[in-house]
Amino acid sequence: MSTADRLIDATRELLWERGYTGTSPKAIQQRAGAGQGSMYHHFAGKQDLALAAIRRTTARMREVAQADLAGPGSAVERIERYLLREREVLRGCPAGRLTQDPDIVASAELRAPVDELFDWLRARLTAVVAEGQAAGELSASLDPRAAGAVIAAAVQGGYVLARAAGTAEPFEQAVRGAVGLVRAAAVRGAATTN
């Protein structure tokens, strides 16, 4: 792994753990095993490095969600796979946690990759719901955009509730509740394995 990659990955982890303010250049260098000269050789400063880290985080999250949502199975099965995927619940969502960081929210540049990820996720979930409707799996009365937003909100809200409670149980309830709503919208007789 190159020094630049080690710096980006160290910054990703530190942003997830500590937020932007709590992530010092010294902590990044120590975590990456890189010197100050190496850091400033590859990046203009902390914000430049944070932006690279946020972009990498959101790109990886998008890849994982896309694998769930574009994989095999019915629309209901793909949505369930997305909702029920194993996550590090008590750490929170790596991108969602950034929306709670005042320094990230105040910077349009740092916030943009997070906004783009969540816009993409809602649109992708909307598309899967619409695919389910077109295939006769999901009720035509379901609003695909609203359903996509609810599914995304169940995951993000579940993270917040779990972190507040100090247990993964509220997250599990939120995603299982969303699964129940999707199943309730499933057309009787439509093919699902669950």
For residue 147, pLDDT beyond 80: yes
CATH of the domain at 65: 1.10.357.10
Check whether 194 has a pLDDT greater than 90: no
| Whole-structure pTM value | 0.91
Q: Say if 49 falls within a structural domain.
A: no
- The letter for the amino acid at 159 is Y
Asked if residue 179 belongs to a domain, the reply is yes
Domain extent at residue 120: 57-185
- Number of domains the chain contains: 1
Report how far residue 26's alpha carbon sits from residue 68's, in angstroms, rounded to the nearest whole number.
37
Does residue 116 lie in a domain region? yes
Asked if residue 103 is part of any domain, the answer here is yes
Q: Residues, the chain, total? A: 194
Residue 1 domain flag: no
Residue 157 domain flag: yes
Per residue in 131-146, pLDDT (tens digit) is 999 999 999 999 999 9
- Structural domain contains residue 173: yes
For range 8-20, the mean pLDDT: 95
Which of 6, 3, 117, 87 lies closest to 53 in space, CA to CA?
6
pLDDT at 94 over 80: yes
User: What is the maximum span of the chain, computed from C-alpha positions, in angstroms?
Assistant: 63
Domain membership flag for residue 42: no
Percent of the chain with pLDDT over 70: 97
